[in-house]
């Protein structure tokens, strides 16, 4: 049974930093691209960042520019999203997702999802 469990969300002031983590189990981790999405109330789920099985990364430059960095540790089956210079518009539930194969920035292409972790940025 595949499980993706996010952690590390919370309340932070604007300009602050936060790192959210995702622990994966039940899958051959190094065969999967690991991706981060977020969803704010009343909005569609939005691609944020992804890291491929071999470590290549991509981010949603329009939304997060170089403020966010994604990484993975294949030895620990973990994926991380480091978020710096947080803004109130970054407030959302952040979801970890896994996709067998290459990275794709499309919410409907994911094979597995976590339940999300809430990030709230106060102004």
The CA-atom distances, in angstroms, between 85 and each of 5, 28, 45, 68, 102 are 24, 34, 21, 9, 29
Q: Summarize the confidence of residues 63-71 as an average pLDDT.
A: 94
The 3-state DSSP class for residue 109 equals: helix
Give tens-digit pLDDT for 9-34.
Answer: 999 999 999 999 999 999 999 999 99
pLDDT > 90: what percent of the chain? 94
Give tens-digit pLDDT for 68-90.
Answer: 999 999 999 999 999 999 999 99
Strands 117-122 and 57-59: unpaired
Does residue 8 have a pLDDT over 90? yes
- Can you tell me the distance from the alpha carbon of 13 to that of 4, in angstroms, rounded to the nearest whole number? 27
Query: Do the beta carbons of residue 96 and residue 6 sit within 8 Å?
Result: yes
3-state class percentages of the chain: helix first, strand second, coil last, to nearest 5: 10, 50, 40
- pLDDT score, position 65: 87
Q: Summarize the confidence of residues 98-105 as an average pLDDT.
A: 94
- Can you tell me the distance from the alpha carbon of 62 to that of 60, in angstroms, rounded to the nearest whole number? 6
């Amino acid at each position: 049974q595949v499980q993706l469990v996010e952690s590390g969300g919370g309340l932070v002031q604007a300009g602050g930093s936060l790192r959210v983590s995702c622990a994966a189990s039940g899958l051959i981790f190094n065969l999967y691209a690991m991706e981060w999405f977020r969803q704010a109330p009343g909005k569609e789920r939005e691609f944020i960042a992804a890291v491929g099985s071999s470590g290549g990364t991509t981010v949603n430059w329009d939304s997060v520019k170089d403020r966010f960095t994604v990484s993975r540790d294949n030895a620990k089956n973990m994926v991380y999203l480091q978020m710096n210079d947080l803004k109130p518009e970054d407030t959302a539930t952040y979801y970890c997702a896994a996709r067998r194969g290459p990275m794709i920035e499309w919410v409907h292409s994911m094979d597995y999802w976590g339940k999300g972790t809430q990030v709230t940025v106060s102004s």
